[in-house]
Amino acid sequence: MAEASQLFKEFKIQSVSEFFRRNAAMLGYTGKIRSLTTVVHEAVTNSLDACEEAGIPPYIRVEIEELGREHYKVIVEDNGPGIPEKYITHVFGKMLAGTKAHRNIQSRGQQGIGISGAVMFAQITSGKATRVITSTGGDKTIEAWVKIDVDKNEGKIVKKEKHPNPKGWRGTRIELEVKNVRYIRSKQGVYWYLKLTAIANPHAHIELIEPDGKLIVFPRSSDYIPEPPVEMKPHPRGVLTDDVYRMAKKTRRNTVKRFLVGEFSRISDKKIDELIEYIAALRLIKTEEDKNVQEQLYERLMKGEVKAVLRSFRGYTKVVKQVAKIMEKPPEKLTWHEAEEIVEAFKYMKFLAPPTHGLRPIGEENIEKGLKGILKPEFVTAVTRSPKVYSGGIPFQVEVGLAYGGEIPGGFELLRYANRVPLLFDAGSCVTTLAARSIDWKRYKVDDLDRAPVVLMINVISVHVPYTGTGKQSIANVEEIQNEIRLAIMDAARRLQTYLSGKHRKLYQVKRKKTFEKYVPEIARALSVLTGEEEDAVKSYFLAFIESRFAAKEGELNEVSENA
Amino acid sequence: MPKSKVVKREKPRERFSYDPTRVLTKLEEYGRRVLEDIKAGKNPYFDIPMRGLNNVYFDEKRRVIRMGDKLSRRYFLNVAHARKFMQTLLIMAYVKRLVSEGKHASLREAYYANKHTIPGTKENTFEDQRESDPIIEDLERMLGVLREEMHLTADRRGYIYGDIVIRDGEDEFNTSKLGMGGWAVPGTVEHLQFVEVNVDYALVVETAAMADRLIEEKFPKKENALIIATQGQASRGVRRLIHRLHYEEGLPIIVFTDGDPYGWYIYSTIKQGSINLAYLSDKLATPEAKFVGMTMDDIKRYGLENVTEKLKGIPPNKKGGPTGDYKRILEEMEYPWFQNKEWQRQLKMAVKMGVRIEQQALANKSLEFVAKKYLPEKINNGELLP
């Protein structure tokens, strides 16, 4: 039998880079094509977020340079606010650090690994530092080469230079050298990713220079810069025990009661009194030995009969008083068990729906602009539903855009987004795909969806999007979300139907008109023989007659549709 | 025994009236109306008397089938009409050229002459003759003008033999001097003129075999009759010829058909006109025509019982009946012009006996029997059915 000391010889603290290497898939670095897309995604997302927060219309340029076999340089440059010198190491060097991860806020990325992950990826594939050039618009630009100290999980500036900035340039340019990746114009590639990003962010001007030097521009189609999302306090129905426990440790409030009222939404002083009763009731129910009786009591509690439940126990006031004491103690003294009790009670209580002011939909107008600008369809419509709640307390919102015809090629295309971020993988299991496929498109005059020139975009917004896996590329099939998506699609599809039936009517009119026109030369020749009138003159009489009749008819049609 | 002639020529009641300019005037008039409509921004149309049973009635007074006054309006600006409107004008223009150039064309020629692909489409002006023939019929009804007057002819059928002189364009001939085959009746007889008519009546014969028999037996010469062979249902040319001979030359018309529903129907068409061509009854029908045979009475009278044939189909008193010949006979019994004692008796007898009798059955007696005994006896004794 081996000694413990023997076994522990192999024990090492895993470094961040080691963790990263092992869990690359979780962060999106899997596959040669996807890895490159992920690098671009992290940089572009940062740029968009920065511009939004600063109220600047984004101008983003992505350049992919081929340096060798599966060896590229990725350059992303923006006109954002720039990065102050002292934050450069934090932004690029430290994982799990950022401005958002610790806040309850809708965000493009979620864990704050983003760009530092990209820096790390560059470093472990090419060994090169990431070059950052940035200026906040002052008289200096900073050029820095950033690496990550994988053991300490810290950013390290390898080299730094300052340059004069005579033209007052402001923005950030980063250059990452990556290996083991490949550039292909596929549906998982950079091109497609940027195209989808451009559609969902019509306020951004995005350019791409491909390895062969080809410049692709996705121009800005909207002047409106979306407001940055605001932080929302968590809703009691959407939290886990761990959330409550950890928040209690960090809070500056001095009692549990003040902590709950102050740091959650929809909790008032009155709700705390209710909470105490519910916790007490739950404690008492747990003392009941008869399982059937217990079950009934839970049911009554669910119905809100908390007072009646309490009264059915002798000496219940004592328990209530005990629970009330929890509310008065300092939050850092809150035990795990107590946090558990609070969260359990939350499940039985009724709360107002969570606030939704933190959700930032793209908006119908901007979706339409985005689809129109990039896809050049003949018809476009968008639906932004009002916010809803899933799992009892997590607010979410669904919006869809529908584009038809024009330069769109045949074949149905579904563009999926979560918080405006394009989802490129795992389409099959995504709730958006399921919802889109569950629609009976024939009802909306789309007879063969798989051949129709239809692009459907779906954006699911939430402070907490329920992804199916760590790859964050597919949204779980949550019933409430699927219903909302379906309703939104059907709403948009109805408008498409109206458009298509109008179009068919018009086509029918054109066809009718042609039916008459094709006979005119024959008629003219015959009438000319019969009457001696000039053939061309007869022809023009007939054509003018047809023209006037159809002009009149069209007028009628328009009136009808306006009245309808 | 001196022959007291029952059948005699009468005084003419119509005059030869062929006038090609009338057709041209009508065509131009209709064309001009369309042109005026279109110039005035109105949807041009043609009013065409409707065809079919719904627009046909029996004129008791004149005893012919006539067309009612129901019209169908054919518009240019109507998806369902436009093509036919175009076709109508095409044929009108074609007819104008034919008539003014003095040329004739068959229905088939008219179809091919006007069939072509419409420029810029894959559509033909006429897809087949079933499209052009009805347009020509429409024009007849619309203009009140015979197809023959529009110089459009059908296949010829039927011939005549007898002592009459006909002028056909530059040719003049006696139809009893053209050999045993007689003179074939052309598709259009409008332009024919009867220079001399030296016969007392016209005998219209259903089958060519019987007509040939009569000519061989010199029946026309002996009886001073004109033989008109219809060869089945009488063609328009033959019917028009019968009409003209009766009304312009006063010739009595006597019809000789098989004793069966088909033969009686041939007679009915010559006499009252047909549903299809009801609009032409005034020019084609000859209500004064009479029927000589075969009748059901002939069977008994001439002892022809063993040369009859069974009627086809199921009799009315049997299960599933009446069908076939029986059904047709019962239908004919309902015709207004068969509503008289003699015909009802004949038709009822046929149903009862369940037999039919052909003209040729008379050959059972002898080849000469029909020419020497049967016809002279019946005709001269006036034993004719109305």
How far is Cα A177 from Cα A121, in angstroms, rounded to an integer? 9
How confident is the model over A99-123, as pLDDT tens digits?
Answer: 444 456 665 654 456 788 888 889 8
* CB–CB contact B35 A533 (8 Å): yes
Is A367 within 8 Å of A457 (Cβ atoms)? yes
Nearest CA in chain B to A527: B31
Please give the average per-residue pLDDT across A35-56, as a whole number. Answer: 90
Please give the average per-residue pLDDT across A255-278, as a whole number. Answer: 92
* CB–CB contact B89 A548 (8 Å): no
Please give the average per-residue pLDDT across B284-288, as a whole number. Answer: 91
Task: Specify the pLDDT at position A9.
Answer: 66
* CB–CB contact B118 A533 (8 Å): no
Interaxial angle between packed helices B341-353 and B324-334, expressed in degrees from 0 to 180 and rounded to the nearest 10: 170
Catalytic residues of B: 112
Q: Which amino acid is at A149?
A: D
Residues of B in contact with A527 (CB under 8 A): 31, 34-35, 89, 93
Q: Which of A66, A25, A60, A68 is nearest to A41 (CA)?
A: A60
Task: Specify the pLDDT at position A1.
Answer: 57
* CB–CB contact A516 B76 (8 Å): yes
List, in sequence order, every beta strand (DSSP E) within A405-541.
413-418, 421-423, 454-462
Kindly write down the DSSP assignment for every residue of B209-260, as one continuous string.
HHHHHHHHTTHHHHHTEEEEE--SSPPHHHHHHHHHHHHHH---EEEE--BS
Query: What average pLDDT is seen over chain A?
Result: 86
Q: Is the pLDDT of residue B2 over 60?
A: no
Task: Specify the pLDDT at position A275.
Answer: 93
Residues of A in contact with B92 (CB under 8 A): 526, 530
- CB-CB: which of A521, A526, A549 is closest to B119? A521
Residues of A in contact with B31 (CB under 8 A): 526-527, 530-531
Residues of A in contact with B27 (CB under 8 A): 530
Please give the average per-residue pLDDT across A275-289, as a whole number. Answer: 92
Task: Specify the pLDDT at position B264.
Answer: 94
Task: Specify the pLDDT at position A558.
Answer: 46
* CB–CB contact A525 B93 (8 Å): yes
Closest Cα in chain B, distance from residue A502 (Å)? 20
- CB-CB: which of B77, B92, B121 is closest to A518? B121
Closest Cα in chain A, distance from residue B87 (Å)? 8
Task: Specify the pLDDT at position A105.
Answer: 60
Least confidently predicted of A96-105, A450-459, B94-103 = A96-105
How far is Cα A448 from Cα A445, in angstroms, rounded to an integer? 9
Structure tokens at A382: 């968008």
A512 touches chain B (CB under 8 A): yes
Nearest CA in chain B to A548: B41
How far is Cα B145 from Cα B179, in angstroms, rounded to an integer? 35
- CB-CB: which of A515, A530, A545 is closest to B38? A545
Interaxial angle between packed helices A535-563 and B20-39, expressed in degrees from 0 to 180 and rounded to the nearest 10: 40
How confident is the model over A14-40, as pLDDT tens digits?
Answer: 666 677 767 777 677 888 888 899 999
Between these two residues, A231 and A364, which has the higher pLDDT value?
Answer: A364
Q: Is the pLDDT of residue A440 over 70?
A: yes
Q: Is the pLDDT of residue B286 over 90?
A: yes
How far is Cα B170 from Cα B184, in angstroms, rounded to an integer? 17
Please give the average per-residue pLDDT across B295-323, as a whole number. Answer: 89
A531 touches chain B (CB under 8 A): yes
Please give the average per-residue pLDDT across A215-230, as a whole number. Answer: 85
- CB-CB: which of A522, A530, A531 is closest to B86? A522
Query: What average pLDDT is seen over chain B?
Result: 89
Task: Specify the pLDDT at position A109.
Answer: 54
Chain-centre distance for alpha carbon A277 = 39
A516 touches chain B (CB under 8 A): yes
Q: Is the pLDDT of residue A563 over 60?
A: no
Least confidently predicted of B5-19, B36-50, B368-382 = B5-19
* CB–CB contact A546 B120 (8 Å): no
How confident is the model over B317-359, as pLDDT tens digits?
Answer: 888 778 889 999 998 998 888 899 999 999 999 999 999 999 9
Contacts of B239 (CB under 8 A, 6+ apart): B269, B270, B284, B285, B286
Please give the average per-residue pLDDT across A251-257, as a whole number. Answer: 91
Longest CA pairwise span in chain B (Å) = 79
Closest Cα in chain B, distance from residue A527 (Å)? 6
Residues of A in contact with B120 (CB under 8 A): 518
Which residues on chain B place their C-beta less than 8 Å from a C-beta of chain A? 27-28, 30-32, 34-35, 38-39, 41, 43, 76-77, 79, 82-83, 85-86, 89-90, 92-93, 96-97, 118-121, 123, 125
Closest Cα in chain B, distance from residue A541 (Å)? 6
Q: Which of B290, B279, B345 is nearest to B59 (CA)?
A: B279
Closest Cα in chain A, distance from residue B26 (Å)? 10
Is A431 within 8 Å of A475 (Cβ atoms)? yes
Nearest CA in chain B to A550: B77
Task: Specify the pLDDT at position A392.
Answer: 66
Please give the average per-residue pLDDT across A210-233, as a whole number. Answer: 86
A554 touches chain B (CB under 8 A): no
Nearest CA in chain A to B27: A530
* CB–CB contact A519 B86 (8 Å): yes
A-to-B residue pairs, Cβ atoms closer than 8 angstroms: 70
Task: Specify the pLDDT at position A111.
Answer: 46
pTM above 0.80, yes or no: no
How far is Cα A90 from Cα A98, in angstroms, rounded to an integer? 8
Q: Which of the four pLDDT bands, split at 50, 70 and 90, describes residue A11?
A: low
How confident is the model over A380-429, as pLDDT tens digits?
Answer: 999 999 888 887 678 899 999 999 988 898 889 999 999 888 998 888 88
A543 touches chain B (CB under 8 A): no
How far is Cα A519 from Cα B74, in angstroms, rounded to an integer? 15
- CB-CB: which of A521, A538, A549 is closest to B77? A549
Q: Which residue of B86, B91, B97, B115 to mutate against A (max A Cβ within 10 Å)?
A: B86
Structure tokens at A334: 């809150």
Between these two residues, A19 and A451, which has the higher pLDDT value?
Answer: A451
How many Cβ atoms from other residues are within 10 Å of residue A12's Cβ? 8
Is A431 within 8 Å of A478 (Cβ atoms)? yes
Contacts of A535 (CB under 8 A, 6+ apart): A524, A525, A528
* CB–CB contact A530 B43 (8 Å): no
Task: Specify the pLDDT at position A97.
Answer: 43
How far is Cα B22 from Cα A65, in angstroms, rounded to an integer? 90
Peptide bond into B316 cis (omega under 30): no
Output phi, psi for A206, to 5 deg: -125, 130
Residues of A in contact with B82 (CB under 8 A): 515-516, 519
Kindly write down the DSSP assignment for every residue of A51-66, as one continuous string.
HHHHT---EEEEEEEE
Residues of B in contact with A549 (CB under 8 A): 43, 77
Place of tokens 């300490």: A152
Residues of B in contact with A533 (CB under 8 A): 35
Residues of A in contact with B83 (CB under 8 A): 519
* CB–CB contact A527 B89 (8 Å): yes
Closest Cα in chain A, distance from residue B33 (Å)? 10
Task: Specify the pLDDT at position B47.
Answer: 93
Residues of A in contact with B39 (CB under 8 A): 541
pLDDT above 70 coverage of chain A, percent: 90
Residues of A in contact with B86 (CB under 8 A): 519, 522-523, 526
Task: Specify the pLDDT at position B215.
Answer: 94
* CB–CB contact A518 B79 (8 Å): no
Q: Which of the four pLDDT bands, split at 50, 70 and 90, describes residue A232?
A: confident
> What is chain A's Cα-based Rg?
31
Task: Specify the pLDDT at position B169.
Answer: 85
How far is Cα B39 from Cα A543, in angstroms, rounded to an integer? 11
How confident is the model over B245-270, as pLDDT tens digits?
Answer: 999 999 999 999 999 999 999 999 99
Q: Which of the four pLDDT bands, split at 50, 70 and 90, describes residue A98?
A: very low
Q: Is the pLDDT of residue A196 over 60?
A: yes
Task: Specify the pLDDT at position A559.
Answer: 40
